[in-house]
Structure 1
C-alpha cells in the first residue's frame, strides 16, 4: 500500500504537468478539444487531397475533395482564411469543370465575405473580381465583365502599384474586353501598357506572363481588319517623317532585279526557300555573336522572352501592313530605341528587299542600325548583318560609293566576331567584289572575289550552289581582265557543282 503523502504528491505532479503542457500547446486537455483537432485535420486532409488531384489533372476527384473540405470546415471552428481558401479552390475547380453557375455563386459569396471582413479595397478582392469578370466574359456579358475588371484594376493599382505584374495582368483583361466591346483604341492602349510594364520586370514569372500577353495580343491583332489606317499612318510618320512613305514606294510587285550577282540571286533563293519551309536557323538570334561576358542564363528573362517571341515567328508569311502596325505598336509600348523595334524594322526591310523595294527598306535599316549598335555593340551579328543589308540597299539605289564605304565598315567593325570562313564574311566580300565590278574596278573586284571564294568555300563547303554562284561571278571578272582560260576553268567548276546537285 502506497503512503498517503505519495498519492498526494503524484496527483499534484500530474496537475503541474498538465498546466505545463497546456501552456506550451503540447497537450489538449478536454475531449471536445480533441474532437475539434480531429475534425480540423480531416478538412485539411481533404484540402490536400484536392490539391494533389488537381496537380494530377483529376478534376472530378479534386472537386469532390474540395466539397468535402468546405462542408467540414463550415461545421467546425476555423479561421476565416480557412473557409475562404476552401470556397475559392472549389469555385476555381468548378470553373475547370464548366459548372459556371455554381462557380459564380461561390465567387459572389466569397466576394461578399471578403468585403465584410476586409473592406472594399482589400487586395484579397482582386482575384475574385477577375474571376467573376472572366465568367461574364465567357457568357458574352462584356460590359458587366468590364465593370468587374475595372473594379479589380483600381484595387490592384492601389495595393500593388502601377508597375506590378498584378496590375499588368489586370490590364490585359481590360484590354481584351475593350476589343470585344468595339473599343479598339482603348484595347491597344491597355495591352501596350501591360507589355511595357512586364518588359521592365526582371523575374522569370513576369517573363512567362509577358509571353502569354504577347500571344494574346497577337491573336487579337490577327482578327483585326488589316486595313487599320491609323497604325499605318503612325508607322509612316515614325519611319518616313510623313504619312505617305517614300516617293515611288507604293508598288507591290517586284521590280526587275538588274545589277544582281549570281551569288546574290542564289542567296535570295535560299532565303526564300528557308522562309517557305518556316525554318528558324537562329531562334535565339539576339544571343548570336555577342562578345560580351553575358551568357544566355544571365540575361534578363523578360528581355530574352521579347526576342524569342519575335524571332520564333515566321515573318515571311506576314503582309506589309502587319509589320507597319507592329512597329507602330512597339514604338509606343516600348520606346523608339528598344531592340524589339529594330527587330521589327529589319523584318519589314527584308520583306521590302525581297520585292526590290529598296527605297522603302533604306530608312528602316538606317533607323535599326544605331539601335543595334547602342544595345549590342559593333561586333554583334545583328549589327553586322544590318549594316551589310543597308550597304546592299544603297548599292541597288545607285549610291555605290556610300555602299562601298558601309560594306568596308561592316568588315572592319565586325572583325572580332566575323571569322574568315563565316557566311556573313562571304556575303560581304561577294557583294563588295560585285560592287567594284559594276564600277569597272576589275583589279579590286578580282582581289575581293579571290577572298570571297575562299570564304564561301570555308563557310558552305566545296559542293554548295553558293560557291558555284561565286565562281560564275568571278569568271566574269576574269574575262574582263583578259584571263579567259582561268574564267573557263572557274565556269567549268561551277557547272560540276550544279550538275552534282541535280
Structure 2
C-alpha cells in the first residue's frame, strides 16, 4: 500500500501533465484542415478518369501520380494512427512527430510540383493544370503547408507550454494509482475532450471542405444549366439556349475547371454563330482559343477545334482575309498529330474548299471538296449524315459551274441522308434549298417554289424575324416571283431581305449583294434606272474590294450596269462593261455557261442599238444555243433572250420572224405563269 502511493513519475512513466488547451486547440483545427485537404486530393485523383487516361500517354506522368497518391495516403495514416494518438496521450515525442509530419508534407508537395514543372516543359500537357489549377510550385496546398510549418514548427519545438504538456514516455499506466491522472483520464474528462476534439475537427474539416462543397454545388448548377441549354438548342429554342448557356458560363468561370469553361464557351459560340450574332460568336471562340493555348501546347489537336470554328465563322461573316491563316495552322497540326484519314482533316479541307469556292478558284475548291468527301466515306457508313456537308459543298460548286445534273444528284443524295438521319442540333446541311435552286434554274418552277416555301415556313418558325436565313429564303422567293412576272411582289420580298441583312451586317456584306442584284433587276423592269445604277455600282465596289477585279460576282454587276447603259443610250460605256464581264466569265467558266449567254445577249443589244444587226444576230443565236445545251428546257431566261432577239428582227424588217419569236416567248411565260402558287399571287410572304 505505501509503496504504491509513493510511486514516482519515473517508475510509472507518467507525470502530472497540463491539460490540452490554448494554442493546441488551433493545432487541432489546422490538423483537421490539412487532413481534409489531403483526403480531397487523394479522392479527386483516384476518381478522375481524365488524370489516368492522360497518364498513359506520358512516360513520367504516371509515376508522379503514383508518388502523389502513395505519399498522401502514407501521411494520412501517419497523422491518424500515430501523431493523433500520441498527441492525446500527451507523449513527449508528439511535438517531434507533428514537426516531422509538417516537414514531410511540405517536402512531398515541393517534389511533386517540381517534377510537374519538368513534365510541363518536356511534354505537351501541363500536369499541374490537371490536378490543382495550374499554379506551378506555389499552389494553394503548398502555400498552406509552408505557412503551417512557419507557425507550428517553432511553436512545438520552443514553447514551454508544449514541453510542460507533452511529458509522458510510457505506453501504459495504472491510472487508478494516481489521483491526478484519474482526473485527466476519468470518464467526464474523456467525454469533454472528445467533444472538444470533435468540434475542433469539424471546424477544421469544414474550413477545408467549404471550397470543395462550393465547387460541387457550382458543378451541379453548371451541369444543369449546360444540359438544359443543349436540350434547348436541339429543340431550336436558340434564345433559351443562349440564356441557359450564359448562366452555365458564369458558373464555369467562377470555378477552377478550364475544361468546363471551354466546353461552355464552344457551345455558346456555336449558338451565337447559328443566330448570326457573329461578334458574340467571335468573342466566345477567341476566349476558348486562348484558354486552350494556356492549357495545352500550341501544337496539339485541341487547338484545331477553335481554329476551325473561327475560320468557319469568318466565312459566314464574309471576312475571307482572316480564314486562310487559321485553316492553315489547323491543318498543319492535324497532319502532324493525327491520322491523315480522319474526319477532323475533312473539316479543315472543307474550310479551304469554301474559301477557294467563294474566291472563284473552282478547280482548287473541287479538289478540296472531293478530298474531304473521300476521307469521310472512309470513316463513316454510306448513309451517315456527316457526308451531307461534303455533298452540299460539291452540289453548290457544280451548280455554280452549270453542271446541273451532277449538282442535282449530289443535292438529292444529301437531302435523302438528312431525312433518314437522327435529328441533330440544327445543322443546315442536307436541307432542300440547294436542290430547289438547281431545279429553279432548270425551269422546274413549281417544285422549286414548293421547296422555297417550305424553307421559308421553317425559318419563320425557328429563327428570328431579322435572321439572315430568313433573308436568304425571302431572296429565293423574290427570284421566283420575278420569273413569274410579279415584279411588285419580287420588290417587296427583296427589300425586306435587304433590310434584314443591312440591319445585321451593314451595307458592305459581300454575301448580301445578290439580294441587291434581284432588286436591280426588278427596278430595271420597272424603269427605275437611277436606282439600278446606284445598286449595281455599289455591289460592284463591294465585290471588287472583297474579291478583286476578276471575280464572277464583279462580272454580274458589270453586266447589269451595261444593260442600264443600253437603255440610256450610253453604248460605249455599255460595251466596255459587258466586254469586261464577258472576259471575266470566259476565264472562269469557259464558253458554255448561262452567265456567258446573258453577257452575249447584252453585247448583242449594244450592237443592235448601234445598228450593227449583222454582228448582233450571231450573238443572240450563240446565247440561245448555250441555253438550249445547258438547260435543255425553255426557261424565263430563254424567253427574255427571244424577246430581245425579236426587237432585232423588227429592226431588220423581218416582222414575220419577229412575231413568231415573240409568240414563242409569250408561250414560255404563259407556261411559267401557270405554275404560280396562290401564296405568291396573294403576297403572303
Calculate the TM-score normalised by the size of structure 1. 0.42
Please tell me whether Structure 1 or Structure 2 has the larger radius of gyration of its CA atoms: 2
Calculate the TM-score normalised by the size of structure 2. 0.33
Bigger proportion of residues as helix: 2
